[in-house]
Structures are given as C-alpha cells and as structure tokens.
C-alpha cells in the first residue's frame, strides 16, 4: 500500500496536480482564516503547547478518519491525495522553468532573480550555494523527507511534517506573521525532523552518484548534530554529482542535479519495495 501510494502520487503530481487545490499552502491559509474568524486563533497562538495542538489538528482529524474507515481503496485514495498536497510545489516548478528560460536567452539578471525566488540564499558568485544545491534541498523537503515520514508513520506522519515545514517557512518569509514568536521552536523542530532523513537521502546520492568523491563529505556530516541539514544535502549532492566549475551557474549544472535527485527518488522507491517484500512496511 505504501509503495503503490507513493508511486501513484508521484505520477499524478507530475502529470496533473498543478492547481492551487493541490498545494498545501492553500489549505493552511484557509485553516488560519477559519481559526481567526472563530476567535480560536487569538486564544491559542500565544502558548507554545496550545499552538502545536492547534497546528496538528488536521493530523488528528486525518488519524480519526483513517482509523474509522477500514476500507483499502479509501485508504489508498486518502494516502494519494494527502501525499499530493504535501508534495505540492507548483510555484517552485514555475520558477525553475523561468530560470532555465532566462539562461537560454542570456538574461543573467532574470536568472539570478528566479534563483533567489527558488530559495537560493546567495548565488555562487556571492559565496553561497549553487542552484543545483538549492534544487537538491527543494527536492528533499518536498519529496524525500515527506516520503520518509510517510513510510515511518503513514499518511499522518507525512502531513505532520509538511505542516511544520509550511509554518516554519511562514515565520521565515513573513516577519510580521502572528506565529513569529514560535519561529525558533518551529525551526528547531523541523531541524530534528530533517536530521535523519537528510542523512539517509544523502547516502542515496553516494550510491547513485560519485561514491568515492562524496564519501569524505558524507562522513564529515553523518554524525554532526550542529551543521544545517540544508548544507548536508547540498554539499553531499554537489560532491556526488561533480560538475566542472565552468558549468556552475549554467543550465547544465541545474539539469545534472535534477537528474541526480530523480535517480535518487528511484532508489528510494526500490528501497521501499525491498522493505515491503521483507514485511517491514505495509
């Protein structure tokens, strides 16, 4: 069931799920709006425990529905729909296409703007990460980590991770957010939720990429509890998919990284299939 759910969700998300209805942010905004209109929001956002209970209400509701109806096809449908929503990153896909188009017409300024909109903190010229590393991080947050928590805790684990990811991004991108007082604990929670999946996903980069060049970087980070997970994913992916310096900042580097993360996704599916055959996952 887990393997089938993931495969179906990935196929549908790639082919059809581009509308706002398949983006988690759409439902988060509605959730906040409903809470504010009912007067619930003003009472719960101030205390940390109350805030997290409120944040995870959709997970509790999903758990109740999943446990109430013991029907295989319904469970499959719920899994696929929730995974589609958790995967939803149509906005970032559009920015990536815009980045490639800007490079094709030699518009460096537009390419840099698209790269920053994709989440690149600083361009490689400013001593920051390459766009390929940014792509690896995006793929991890929207696919790798979601699938990891789906395998471990089912659809509730995937939704719980995605909600915390979304609210952490909200506090970072909007300084005036009413949740800003919870920014530190949200990002700390997200760090630990990403810690183990980042090491597992990045190990996959070694297997399907350049193992010898990436091993030293992996061993440097594998038991490090202070380095940002973004750096772990980016540096190991960059080491495993070594691109010549002359191609950094070009479409070639970004496309190489896209191919790497796609191969790694196939490796994850193969690992889930093996665990399913062994009876370790459902």
Mind listing the pLDDT tens digit for each residue in 43-80? 677 788 888 999 999 999 999 998 888 788 999 999 99
pLDDT above 60 for 101: yes
Q: What is the pLDDT of residue 282?
A: 67
Q: Which of 91-95, 144-148, 231-235, 246-250 has the lowest mean pLDDT?
A: 246-250
pTM value is 0.92
**47 domain-assigned:** yes
Q: Could you tell me if residue 107 is inside a domain?
A: yes
Residue 119 lies in a domain: yes
Lowest mean pLDDT among 111-125, 144-158, 230-244, 267-281: 111-125
Tell whether 152 is covered by a domain.
yes
Average pLDDT over residues 242-256: 72
- Residue 116: φ, ψ to 5°: -65, -35
Between 141 and 17, the more confident residue is 141
Which CA distances in Å does 163 have to 70, 130, 170? 25, 27, 10
**What pLDDT digit, counting tens, does each position of 208-222 carry?**
988 888 899 999 999
Question: Domain total for the chain?
Answer: 1
Tokens in use for 247? Answer: 């191609």
In terms of residue numbers, what domain contains 64? Answer: 2-277
Instruction: Let me know if residue 282 belongs to a domain.
Output: no
Q: How far apart are CA 115 and CA 117, in angstroms?
A: 5
240 belongs to a structural domain:
yes
Q: Residue 141: inside a domain, yes or no?
A: yes
Q: Is residue 84 part of a domain?
A: yes
């Amino acid at each position: 069931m887990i393997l089938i759910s993931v495969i179906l969700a990935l196929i549908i998300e790639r082919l059809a799920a581009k509308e706002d209805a398949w983006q988690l942010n759409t439902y988060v905004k509605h959730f906040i709006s409903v809470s504010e209109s009912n007067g619930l929001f003003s009472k719960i956002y101030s205390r940390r425990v109350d805030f997290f209970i409120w944040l995870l209400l959709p997970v509790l509701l999903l758990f109740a529905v999943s446990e109430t109806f013991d029907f295989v096809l319904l469970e499959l449908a719920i899994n696929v729909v929730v995974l589609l929503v958790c995967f939803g990153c149509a906005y970032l896909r559009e920015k990536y296409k815009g980045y490639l188009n800007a490079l094709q017409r030699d518009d460096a300024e537009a390419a840099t703007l698209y790269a920053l909109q994709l989440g690149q903190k600083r361009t490689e010229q400013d001593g920051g990460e390459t766009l390929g590393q940014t792509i690896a991080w995006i793929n991890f947050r929207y696919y790798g980590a979601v699938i990891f928590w789906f395998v471990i805790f089912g659809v509730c684990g995937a939704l719980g991770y995605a909600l915390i990811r979304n609210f952490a991004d909200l506090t970072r991108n909007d300084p005036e957010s009413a949740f800003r007082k919870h920014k530190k604990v949200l990002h700390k929670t997200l760090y630990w939720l990403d810690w183990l999946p980042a090491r597992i996903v990045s190990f996959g980069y070694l297997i399907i990429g350049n193992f010898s060049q990436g091993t030293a970087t992996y061993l440097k980070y594998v038991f490090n509890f202070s380095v940002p997970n973004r750096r772990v994913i980016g540096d190991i992916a960059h080491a495993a998919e070594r691109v010549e310096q002359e191609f950094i900042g070009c479409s070639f580097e970004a496309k190489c990284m896209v191919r790497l993360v796609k191969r790694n996704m196939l490796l994850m599916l193969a690992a889930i299939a093996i665990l399913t055959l062994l009876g370790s996952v459902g």
